[in-house]
Amino acid sequence: MKYILIYLSLFFLFVCCQMKSEVVLTDKRIPIPLSSNSLALLSPDSVFDSVTYIPLETTEDNLITNIDKVITTDSLIYILDKKQKEIFVFNVQGKYVKKLDRQGAGGKGYYLNVFDFRIENDLIYLLCTSNKSIMIYNLNFEYLNEIELNGSFTCFEFFEDYIYLYGDYTQESLNNIFVLKRNNDLYAQYSPFPKQQLGVGYNGYYLAQDSLDCYAYYPYQYNIYKLYPDREEVILQLKFDSDKIYPLKLQTTSSFDRDKYRMSISPEEWPIEIHGNLVCTSKYYIIPFVYKTLVHSIFYNKENGNVKTGIIFPSKKYPFANQNILPYQKNFIIQTISTEAIDALRTVGKQYLIPEILQNCSLDDNPILAIYKLKY
């Protein structure tokens, strides 16, 4: 019932509110207009060209609690469920194939958790933070080897000849980015942070890449960085009004101090926080942030510098568009649809908005993948 009420609230807000106009990049700064008196809404019709739905088959062996990351090959879809510490595999029609479940302390090839994964050259790499390693399996899920790590990391990217690891404010060296050569030797570490931030992890996907570069951002800062093997460079500055962001001294202080600051003001006055999955496609940087306790998205067009920003609300064409954005392919993103959201439309008599392929989904079914093609 909680999910139904949330969905209905968002749907009716979509009907009642109006869109904000787009703005243009100036230099490296993106000015982000946000009204203090009304919600800034982003119509999915303005950023999505089309959508394909894939209902995931539900069996006793593959009940998914949450979809944290999706990677596809030519014929298979790999889904990470962090909470269950499993990788589920489906074919492109959504039929269940198998899963990787080696959790436990059983020795080589067993892991205590999985924070991130990648597939490259017919191998699957699992970032197992508690094990302080990247475990390597073939696509039959046979354990092959592992890369030992000197610390715990929450996400990683393979890019060219290097492995980029995100430290998430947990490294004793007080650096956030660690770069390994492909032979596993440490090449560099950078992006320093003050000692008072040590030990606070946020567990998002703060690294991303497109075909050209690798990128990162850091919670409570308002910059997007391009990563090099030995350094980082600011490529975008998100220019919010000064009364909507943390004071400079709180951007580099402890989470306790920021929590204390928020407790001293009303939620309507809480500063903007950059938080969520950073997504880079062939055309867009997609950057999430939280404003007035609601998740917003920035779509920055790399080709012309145009910016669209706001809360993604459903439309007639895209009735399940939401804020949870995952990378997919060069000009596509993935969102997940809960069966509660589908049931919410049925409850209010809006069955005609439910695509035919989703009409028979029940509350006990796995989530649905929605693959959106981005507008050119």
Predicted local distance difference test score (pLDDT) of residue 16: 39
Q: What is the mean pLDDT of residues 4-23?
A: 39
Predicted local distance difference test score (pLDDT) of residue 251: 84
* Mean pLDDT, the chain, integer: 88
Cα 214 to Cα 147, 210, 229, 272: the distances in Å are 21, 7, 10, 24
| Nearest-angstrom CA–CA distance, 25 and 304 | 8
| Nearest-angstrom CA–CA distance, 81 and 68 | 6
Predicted local distance difference test score (pLDDT) of residue 21: 29
Band (118; pLDDT cuts 50, 70, 90): very high
Q: Which of 161, 159, 106, 108 is nearest to 133 (CA)?
A: 108
Least confident of 21-25, 199-203, 248-252, 285-289: 21-25
Whether 374 has a pLDDT exceeding 50, the answer reads yes
Whether 33 has a pLDDT exceeding 80, the answer reads no
What is the full DSSP assignment across 312-336?
E---SS-TT--S--EE-STTEEEEE
| Nearest-angstrom CA–CA distance, 297 and 275 | 10
Predicted local distance difference test score (pLDDT) of residue 28: 67
Query: Within a 13 Å sphere around the CA of 205, how many CA atoms are in the beta-carbon half?
Result: 27
Cα 262 to Cα 7, 236, 293: the distances in Å are 27, 26, 11
Query: Within a 13 Å sphere around the CA of 142, how many CA atoms are in the beta-carbon half?
Result: 4
Amino acid at 361: C
Predicted local distance difference test score (pLDDT) of residue 37: 62
Predicted local distance difference test score (pLDDT) of residue 327: 87
Q: What is the mean pLDDT of residues 55-76?
A: 94
Whether 83 has a pLDDT exceeding 90, the answer reads yes
Q: Which of 147, 56, 8, 230 is nearest to 156 (CA)?
A: 147
| Nearest-angstrom CA–CA distance, 188 and 198 | 19
Which structure tokens are listed for 232? 């980082």
3-state secondary structure of 3: helix
What is the full DSSP assignment across 78-143?
EEEETTTTEEEEEETTS-EEEEE--BSSSSTT-BS---EEEEETTEEEEEETTTTEEEEEETT--E
Q: What is the pTM of this model?
A: 0.88
Least confident of 37-41, 70-74, 279-283, 306-310: 37-41
